[in-house]
Structures are given as structure tokens and as C-alpha cells.
Amino acid sequence: DKTIPPFEMYTEVIQNSVIGLIREGRIKFGSACSLTVTNDCLEGIYNDMDFFRDKLVLRPSEISNSPEIVRRLGVISINTAIDLYGNVNSTHIGGTKMMNGIGGSGDFTRNAYISIFTCPSVAKEGKISAIVPMVSHHDHTEHDVNIVITEQGVADLRGKSPKERA
């Protein structure tokens, strides 16, 4: 969406898509504790170091994931996955199979100015709902979830009762 002005990104991990947005001028600056990019993307960064010199910084995780810094900066956190009441499981499939680590998402979610969670409303090629009645594993409770966004729209959960959240 071209109506979103260029912004700065303060995160734990920078991936290929962020590098592309920096190249396009959509992201002005990226700060993280790690790069998780393909070899081609990394080679492109190395080959264009003069361009990226003032657009990327990697910091120790003690700084990038510091709850105090996240809060002071007024970060808007964006993570993924949700249940009907706003609880989040972003690490375990079916409560048993580990999909990925929680990383610094807790630090960002609990201390952000606004915490946003995004996910598709359906999974498995539309055969099942990705919004479930209850998560089998909690990474983030409903108390830390402010806004949910799916392709169906936006739900602002702030100040809502459990019934209103559902």
C-alpha cells in the first residue's frame, strides 16, 4: 500500500522482504539483532554496502529485545496467530509440534505501544479456520493482544469483554 509513508523498523530479525522494502525506499532504516536472509540476498547486501551503510544496524539482543527500549520507543508490534478470545499460539502446531521459537515476540508484544497480531482466517487451502475457539498452547495471553487483522478485516480488542472479543 503506497499510502503508508516510509517508516523505520525496530525488530529482532530482518528477513528478505525487509531488505526489498529498504531497497524500494518503503523502509528508511532497519534495526535488529540478526539477519535471516537467503545467500543471494546477503550477497546483494554485501555488493551494495554503500547503499545499506546508513540503513541497517545489528545490535546485541539485549538491546534489540530490551523491554525498556521497546516501551520507550513506542514500538507498534506486529506478530502472528490468534484464537477466538485473543490468546496467541505462534510456536506449536496442535500444541505438540514446534513450528518456531517465540524469540523476542513477548518482549515486543507486552511492551509495545500497540500490539497487532495478523493471520489468515483460514488454513489448509480454506478447509479449516485459523481462528480457533481456544489455543492448545499460549505464547501470548489476550491481555497482550490489542488488534487482530485478517483478510476479513480489523478487530480492535482493546477494552472489550471476553464475549465482545469473541
Contacts for 144 with CB less than 8 Å, ≥ 6 apart: 88, 109, 110, 115
Phi-psi region of 148 (alpha: psi -120 to 50; beta: other; left: phi over 0): beta
Q: Are 82 and 115 in contact (CB under 8 A)?
A: no
Q: C-alpha angle with apex 145: 140 to 147, nearest 5 degrees?
A: 145
Catalytic positions, written as ranges: 12
Q: How far apart are CA 77 and CA 4, in angstroms?
A: 16
